[in-house]
Amino acid sequence: MHPKLSIITVNLNNAEGLKKTIESVVNQTFTDYEYIIIDGGSTDGSVDIIKQYADKITYWVSEPDKGIYNGMNKGILKAKGEYCLFLNSGDYLFNEKILSDVFYNLPEYDIVYGNGYSCSKNDVIIKYEIPEKLKLSYFYSDSIFHASTFIKKELFEKFGLYNEENKIVSDWEFFIKTIFVNNVHAKKIPYEISVIEEGGISRSVENKPLLQKEIENVLRNYFSPAVLELIKDYENIAIKYNKIINSNSLKYFMITLLKKIYTFFKRILKKIRSIFFKKYRRNLKNTFSEIYIKNSWGGKESASGPGSDLVQTKSIIEEIPNLIIKHNIKKITDAPCGDFFWMSNVISKVYDYIDSYIGIDIVDKLIAENKIKYKKDKINFFSQDLTKSNLNYSDLIICRDLFLHLSYKNIFKILENFKKSGSQFLLVSTYTKHENYDVNEFFPTGRALNLETAPFNFEKPLTIINENCTESNGEYSDKSLMLIRFENIDLKKIKQKIDSSK
């Protein structure tokens, strides 16, 4: 039977703080929890402290990691509890009965949070009162404490792990993504749950520019400028209205009028936000993420589907290394990379030959897991929407099994972004004996696309690798990878053909 709670502690060279954290956990009267400690390879005696309490720790590891969010993600992947609580070294639970109090009558919400305290190095303790109703405007300048927040583990499975590209705001980004973008229900409970150690990376003056930059990037990623502006305007109206009401400086009819204006704007904003959120939930990122989480393509070996298992990729695993060496490929971008299942066999064969491999995918959870499993000196992974993102130069961009799911319009956007990178070669899926047809934004099951015919009309490939596909009783036996130079892709003609086909 799985525990109710997984408490996760991340530590690096904070032995004194770690001991305080561990003692606050193991002394709890509440017992339905597991305790996980992820140490980043400390050299200050932290491991000795962990070993002192090893019999009360469910799982621990001490090894170099790639930062605090990488450590937290490692803990999530090990967790078996219904809820996760992140209590990092130096943070501690408010008292020994707090978990018993919380879980005695825990409300059935996806995110449950309480108040917290911060403690400075001089032992000055400040209470932080978190609002009962969370508004996006509150998150412009603040957040809820991760050490005072119980998060259902299934949220990480549904919406992805913490974004390891950010160094400071990934826990804040997770709350933005879940609470405000995906309407996950959060509930405040009337408890002071934890005390956090001051002096974290987000509080230092030298990190303020990076903090602001990461916040702006997150907001731009999830919200349109118009929606952000409307929310700011709405909050300003609410603040001014409350000041007027409290001042008693206007006559009754003016108060009534302002009340009506306030209600009107509130309705308008609610309508706009509902339209925006519906639009967001239909985008490519959420569609591909849902497919991955639910394994909708039914892959037994690979989460990218049966077309990425070792039987269906045997031919290309053998041929792509030869192609890489023949054309002196040193820098590779794999977009989309999927779960790196079959590609890992290719890269292992040419690892000493290449300079770098970059895997790109739109699914955050997938990228986070790839980083934990596969990232090393020459191999890295990034979460990007290829229809919107600019790429860095590569000698070769590999784009397998993507275009068959997309509309001509989205395919063109990706080709345009690929070509802007100045990269040299494209290795892309094509079906040499099929005819083309357009689809709406996204086609889950996919269809065969022949890139040598309209509207793409790619020139004769430098190399073509037949995949020997046996899916659908040989219907796709012409499935291949074609190699072409980007300089020979005429985007203007492709655009004209796409426009004329509408």
141-169 pLDDT, tens per residue?
788 988 999 999 999 988 889 988 888 89
pLDDT digits (tens, 9 = 90+) for 33-49: 999 999 999 999 999 99
| pLDDT confidence of residue 402 | 94
Contact partners, residue 446, CB within 8 Å, separation at least 6: 401, 404, 405
Q: What is the DSSP string of 231-262?
A: HHHHHHHHHHHHHHHHHT-S-HHHHHHHHHHH
- Write down the CATH number for the domain with range 295-500: 3.40.50.150
CA distance 166 to 207: 12
* Per-residue confidence (pLDDT) for residue 263, from 0 to 100: 64
Task: Assign a CATH topology to domain 5-218.
Answer: Spore Coat Polysaccharide Biosynthesis Protein SpsA; Chain A (3.90.550)
- Confidence band of 135 (pLDDT split at 50, 70, 90): confident
Categorize the per-residue pLDDT at 23 as very low, low, confident or very high, splitting at 50, 70 and 90: very high
Structure tokens at 314: 């045997």
* Least trusted range by pLDDT, from 2-6, 249-253, 338-342, 422-426: 249-253
Write b or e for each residue in 253-272: b if 16 or more Cβ atoms lie within 10 A of its Cβ, otherwise e: eeeeebeeebeebeeebeee
Q: What percent of the chain has pLDDT over 70?
A: 84
The pLDDT tens digits of the residues spanning 54-111 come to 999 999 999 998 889 999 999 999 999 999 999 999 999 999 999 999 998 888 899 9
What is the pLDDT at residue 158? Answer: 85
Q: Give how far the C-alpha of residue 477 lies from the chain's centroid of Cα atoms, to the nearest Å.
A: 35
Determine contact, residues 193/130, Cβ cutoff 8 Å.
no
| Nearby residues of 245 by Cβ (< 8 Å), 6 or more positions away | 255, 258
Residue carrying structure tokens 């690892």: 351
What type of residue is 439?
V
Torsion 448-291-362-318 (CA) sign: negative
- Per-residue pLDDT, 117: 86
Structure tokens at 117: 């305290």
The model's pLDDT over 325-374, given as tens digits with 9 standing for 90+, comes to: 999 999 999 999 999 999 999 999 999 999 999 999 999 889 999 999 99
Nearest C-alpha neighbor of 338 from the set 356, 363, 316: 363
Radius of gyration of the chain (CA): 26
Q: How far is CA 66 from CA 71, 271, 339, in A?
A: 7, 42, 19
What's the pLDDT at 243? Answer: 53
Sign of torsion over alpha carbons 371, 374, 379, 383:
negative
Give, rounded to a whole angstrom, the gap between the first and last alpha carbons of the chain.
Answer: 56
- The whole-number pLDDT of residue 245 equals 47
Decide: helix, strand or coil at residue 316.
Answer: helix
Strand ranges for 335-424 from DSSP E:
356-361, 379-383, 396-399
The CA distance from 4 to 152, in Å, is 10
User: Kind of pairing, strands 83-86 and 149-152?
Assistant: antiparallel
Q: Which H or E element spans position 134?
A: none
Q: Of the given ranges (197-206, 295-304, 317-326), which has the lowest mean pLDDT?
A: 197-206
Exposure on the CB side of residue 277, measured as CA atoms within 13 A: 15
Cα–Cα distance, 174 to 334 (Å, whole number): 26
Q: Across the chain, what does the average pLDDT equal? A: 86
**What pLDDT band is residue 250 in, cutting at 50, 70 and 90?**
very low
CA-CA-CA-CA torsion sign (260, 263, 267, 269): positive
**Three-state secondary structure call for residue 70:** helix
* Domain boundaries defined on the chain: 5-218, 223-281, 295-500
Beta-carbon count within 10 A of 151 CB: 24
- Residue whose C-alpha is closest to residue 418's, from 376, 444, 451, 372: 451
User: Which residue did the predictor score with more confidence, 371 or 251?
Assistant: 371
Contact 40, 65 (CB under 8 A): yes
Look up residue 455 and give its DSSP letter: T
pLDDT value for 204:
53
